[in-house]
Amino acid sequence: MYHSAVYDEPLLNEFTEVKKEKTLRIEGIPKSLQRIKEIGIPNLDETQVARHFHHLSQMNYGVDNGIYPLGSCTMKYNPKLCEQIASWDKFANTHPYQDISTVQGNLQIMFELERMLCELTGMDYFCLQPAAGAHGELLGMLLTRAYHEHRKDFERNEVILPDTAHGTNPASATMAGFKLIEIPSNKDGTVDLDILEKTLSDKTACFMLTNPNTLGIFESDILEISKMVHKAGALLYYDGANMNAIMGKARPGDMGFDILHLNLHKTFSTPHGGGGPGSGPVGVKIKLERFLPVPRIGRTREGVYIFDDAPESIGKIKDFYGNFSVLLKAYIYILMMGDEGLREASEVAVLNSNYMKKKILDSKKYDMPYKQLRKHEFVISCERLKQEKQVTAKDVAKRLLDHGLHPPTIYFPLIVKEALMIEPTETESKKDLDKYVETLVKIADEKPETLRNAPSNTPVKRVDEVTATKNPVLTWKMMS
C-alpha cells in the first residue's frame, strides 16, 4: 500500500524566529511613505527554510511521482533536458529590453517555434504572447472582434459553444464582451448539426470547438461544421487543449479552423509547475494576420532577427514576448521528438486511452455513454455505483489516492453524470495502465464506507472544501 510522507508542518509564521541584525536607519524617503510597522514576514535561517519547503514538497504529488491521468490536462512526463537548458544563464538571464543584437538566439527560437507550430497545426501565423490556454482564448476572442469590426460587421456579438466546452471557453468569450449561446450535444456526444444550423445567424461571431471534444470523441462532421459556420459569416475557433490526440495525424487548419490556441504546458510537455507558468500561443489564418499582437518577429534577408510593428494590430496581450522560458522548453521538445516522435506520441496516447477504456468497460463496473471510439481521453460514469451503493465519482477519486494514483478529472464534462475523465498520455507503460485499471475495478467492489472515508494514506484525510469557501481564511493574518 502507498503511504505519503506526513508532517505536521508549521506555517512559516509559527517557527521560532532567529535574530538577525537590525536594519540600518534610512534617510531620504519622503515622510508620508516611510514604513512605520515592521514587515510581518518571519526571520528564519536557511536550514529552517530548506527543511520547511522540502517537507512540503514531500507532501505533494507530481508526474515524477506517478501516473497523473487528469482528463484534458495532458500530464505527460517532462524531459529533464528542457528544464536544464531553460535555466542556462544565456537564456534565463536575458533582459527583455536588451539590444536586439544581443538576443539573436532568443529571437531565432521564437521565430522558428512560430513556424513549427504553423506546420503542426496548418495555420498561417502564430503569436507566442499568451501566458496560458485561457489567455490564448481571450486573445482569440479579441481577434474575432477585431476581424468583424474591421469588416464593419458590428452586429456579431454572439459566440456559440457546445455543452461539452471547457469552462474557460465561455469565460473568455464573456470577458471579450460576447453573449454566449450553449448548444446541446447529440446522442453521439458530438455537435448536433441541426441545432448548430438553427443557432447560426448574422449575429454569430464565432463557434468555439475542441476537437477531439472533451469526451475524447473526434468531431467527424468537422468539415460540414466548418462549411456551415463560414457560410454564416462567422469564424471557427479551435481550443487546442486536446491537440495531443492528433499531432502528425490531422491539422486544425486543414479542418477549417480560423483561430486556435495551443497549450504548450500540456501537449508540448513543458511542466505545469503546480499551476503554471504555462503558454498558450495563438495561430491564425492569413485573413486574421493583420490583427495579431505586436511585436511580430521577423527576419531580414541577411538572416538578422528583428521586431516588426503592425499598424492594424490589436496591440498587446502580455508584457514583452510571452513566457519565453516555456516557449524555449516546447521548442526543445519538438526538436527532440521530430515528426516521427510527435506522431508516435499521439498514436500511443490514443492507443493507451482506448486500451484503458476497453479494460475498464470489460470489467462492467463502470459505464461509458456516447460513442465507443475515443481519442486521447475518455469519460466514464460512476452513476451506477451511485445508484447501487451511494458511492460518488469523488469517493472513487479519493480512494485512488490511497493507492498512490492520481485521480482523473472528475465531474467534467457536465453532460456525463458522475464523470471520471481519464487521459493516460503516451508516457505511461502498459504495466502502469493495467495497475490503474485493476485498482479502479477493485475500488468498485470495496465497501461504500471505505470509499466514503478515503483517503487515509495521504498527509491529510478528506478535506472539507465547503468551509474554505463559506468562511474563507486566505492568509495567516485572517487566522486570528
Partner 1 sequence: MLKELGLKQIDDLFIDIPKEIRIDNLESPIPSKGLSQQETERLLREIANKNKSCNDLLCFLGGGVKPHYIPAIVKSIVSRAEFYTAYTPYQPEASQGFLQAMFEYQSMIAELTGMDVANASLYDGATALGEAALMCARITKKNSFIIPKNISHSKKSILNNYVKGPGVKVKEVDYDKKTGKIDIKKLRTVVDDNTMGVYIENPNFFGVFEDDVNEINDVVKDANALFVVGVDPISLGITKPPGDYNADVVIGEGRCLGNPMDYGGSSLGIFACKKEYLRQIPGRVVGLTKDKDGKRAFCMALQTREQHIRRGRATSNICTNEGLNALAAAVFLSWLGGIGLENLSRINFEKGQKLAEEIESINGFEKLFSGVHFNEFVVKCPIDPVKINQKLLKRNIQGGLVLGEQFPHLRNCMLFGVTELHSDEDIKRLVSALKEVT
* Candidate residues 401, 422, 443, 451; the one interacting with partner 1 per rule CB under 8 A: 401
- Position 265 contacts partner 1 (CB under 8 A): yes
- Position 476 contacts partner 1 (CB under 8 A): yes
User: Rounded to whole angstroms, what are the CA distances from 87 to 90, 106, 227?
Assistant: 8, 13, 46
- Position 304 contacts partner 1 (CB under 8 A): no
Interacting positions 233-262 with partner 1 (CB under 8 A): 246-251, 254-255
* Candidate residues 3, 155, 198, 276; the one interacting with partner 1 per rule CB under 8 A: 276
Distance CA 406, CA 456 (A): 14
**Binding string, residues 91-130; x marks residues near partner 1 by CB under 8 A:** xxxxxxxxx-xxxxxx-xx--x--xx--xx----------
**Span near partner 1 by CB under 8 A; candidates 202-210, 384-392, 399-407, 440-448:** 399-407
- Position 398 contacts partner 1 (CB under 8 A): yes
- Position 465 contacts partner 1 (CB under 8 A): yes
Cβ closest to partner 1, residue 167 vs residue 298: 167
- Position 460 contacts partner 1 (CB under 8 A): yes
Instruction: Extract the C-alpha cell encoding 294.
Output: 505586436
Instruction: Extract the C-alpha cell encoding 133.
Output: 490556454
User: Rounded to whole angstroms, what are the CA distances from 326 to 78, 87, 264, 372?
Assistant: 12, 11, 7, 35
Give the number of other Cβ atoms within 10 Å of residue 457's Cβ: 15
* Candidate residues 1, 16, 39, 445; the one interacting with partner 1 per rule CB under 8 A: 39
Size of the site for partner 1 (CB under 8 A): 187
Distance CA 238, CA 365 (A): 34
- Position 52 contacts partner 1 (CB under 8 A): yes
Instruction: Extract the C-alpha cell encoding 89.
Output: 544563464
- Position 447 contacts partner 1 (CB under 8 A): no
Distance CA 23, CA 434 (A): 60
CB-based contacts of 59, cutoff 8 Å, min separation 6: 4, 5, 6, 7, 9, 459
- Residue pair 366/384 in contact (Cβ under 8 Å)? The answer is yes
CB of 438 to partner 1, least distance (A): 15
Distance CA 442, CA 445 (A): 5
Interacting positions 206-225 with partner 1 (CB under 8 A): 217-218, 220, 222-223
CB of 458 to partner 1, least distance (A): 4
Helix (H), strand (E) at residue 259: strand 259-262
CB of 299 to partner 1, least distance (A): 12
**Binding string, residues 19-38; x marks residues near partner 1 by CB under 8 A:** -xxxxx-x-xxxxxxxxxxx
- Position 3 contacts partner 1 (CB under 8 A): no
CB of 232 to partner 1, least distance (A): 21
**Binding string, residues 63-82; x marks residues near partner 1 by CB under 8 A:** xxx--x-x--x-x--x--x-
**Span near partner 1 by CB under 8 A; candidates 284-292, 338-346, 385-393, 436-444:** 338-346
- Residue pair 300/306 in contact (Cβ under 8 Å)? The answer is yes
CB of 289 to partner 1, least distance (A): 17
* Candidate residues 123, 125, 127, 133; the one interacting with partner 1 per rule CB under 8 A: 133
Cβ closest to partner 1, residue 180 vs residue 384: 180
Burial class (CB within 10 angstroms; exposed 0-12, middle 13-18, buried 19+) of 204: buried
At which residue does the C-alpha cell 529571437 appear?
A: 107
- Position 50 contacts partner 1 (CB under 8 A): yes
CB-based contacts of 97, cutoff 8 Å, min separation 6: none
* Candidate residues 323, 392, 425, 427; the one interacting with partner 1 per rule CB under 8 A: 323
- Residue pair 230/392 in contact (Cβ under 8 Å)? The answer is no
- Position 311 contacts partner 1 (CB under 8 A): no
- How many Å is the Cα radius of gyration of the chain? 25
Interacting positions 153-182 with partner 1 (CB under 8 A): 166-168, 170-178, 180
- Residue pair 189/215 in contact (Cβ under 8 Å)? The answer is yes
CB of 389 to partner 1, least distance (A): 20
- Position 424 contacts partner 1 (CB under 8 A): no
* Candidate residues 3, 53, 184, 231; the one interacting with partner 1 per rule CB under 8 A: 53
Phi–psi pair at 397, nearest 5 degrees? -60, -45
- Position 329 contacts partner 1 (CB under 8 A): no
Burial class (CB within 10 angstroms; exposed 0-12, middle 13-18, buried 19+) of 277: middle
